[in-house]
Structure formats: C-alpha cells, structure tokens
Amino acid sequence: MSHQTPGRSQRQTQQRDAIWQAFKASGRPMSPAEIHEHAQQAVPGLGMATVYRNLRKLEREERIVPVHVPGEPDRYETAKAAEAHHHHFHCEVCGKVYDITGCPGGLADLLPKGFELTAHEISMRGRCEACSLASE
C-alpha cells in the first residue's frame, strides 16, 4: 500500500478542484492553455503537465469531452454541456470556442440518394463580439 504525504494529496486535490472550477466558470469549451490560465488564479505555480494529466483523468472519468476544432488542437467542455445537441463557433482572432444552441435541421436532405445521416457536427468560424468590436 502506497502512502502519500497529506500535503501532496491536498495539493493534488486543490489543483484538480481549480481545473474543474475553470470549466464551471467559463461556460464554454476551453483549450488546455485557457484552463491553465484560469486555474492558476486559484493555484499559483500550477504547471501545464498537471493540467494535461488532470484533463486525461477527467476525460477517462467521462466528466469532460473533447471538442474538435478543424485545423486546431482540441478544446474541452463538461460532459453535461455536451449532453444537449449543440454546435460551436470558433473565433479566428482570439481562438476561443463558444457553444451555439440550436441546429438548422434538414441536413439529411443534403445527402446523395440512398445515404443515411447518423450524426453531424457544425463548426462556424468568424470573430466573436469582443474581437469584432476591437477591429472597429
């Protein structure tokens, strides 16, 4: 049986809690770097390796899921947020990804005759509100 010092176990819990709180506070898919930036506010000195290790663990526990962004590294969102069918908007200026509610529907009508649609993902690109205002 392995024994950890209470300080190390408590530090690991604080780190993991800070990472989880970053998800809850953002309300949108985030990159590992964004998660790191948010979680570091609660746990100064938090390393990127710790963020990646915890992301892998949270994904194995099915508490988070990857959000695939074409041509970009994955972002992550809570599994609860992913339960509801939605799509994503990727800001080409700041790189942030946002959830989009709703779905255009009727996509099966676009398929060639005899094809069957089993799933779809829509990823929109452009500038978020903050980046659009900054460019004016």
Segment 11-22, tens digit of pLDDT: 678 999 999 999
Are residues 101 and 68 part of one domain? no
Residue 70: the pLDDT is 84
Of the candidates 4, 58, 9, 1, which has an alpha carbon nearest to the alpha carbon of residue 30?
58
Specify the residue for token string 């988070």.
64
Residue 8: the pLDDT is 58
Question: How do residues 69-116 score in pLDDT, each as one tens digit?
Answer: 888 889 999 998 888 888 999 999 999 999 998 888 889 999 999 999
Are residues 105 and 73 part of one domain? no
Are residues 129 and 72 part of one domain? no
Residue 103: the pLDDT is 86
For residue 2, pLDDT over 70 is answered with no
Question: How do residues 26-44 score in pLDDT, each as one tens digit?
Answer: 989 999 999 999 999 999 9
First to last CA, the chain: 62
pLDDT bin (cut points 50, 70, 90) of residue 1 is very low
Strands (E), the chain: 64-67, 75-78, 86-91, 97-101, 123-126
For residue 15, what are the domain limits? 6-79
Overall size of the chain counted in residues: 136
By DSSP bridging, strand 64-67 and strand 75-78 are antiparallel
Can you give the CATH number for the domain in which 130 is found?
Answer: 3.30.1490.190
Strand partners, 78: 64
Does the pTM surpass 0.75? The reply is yes
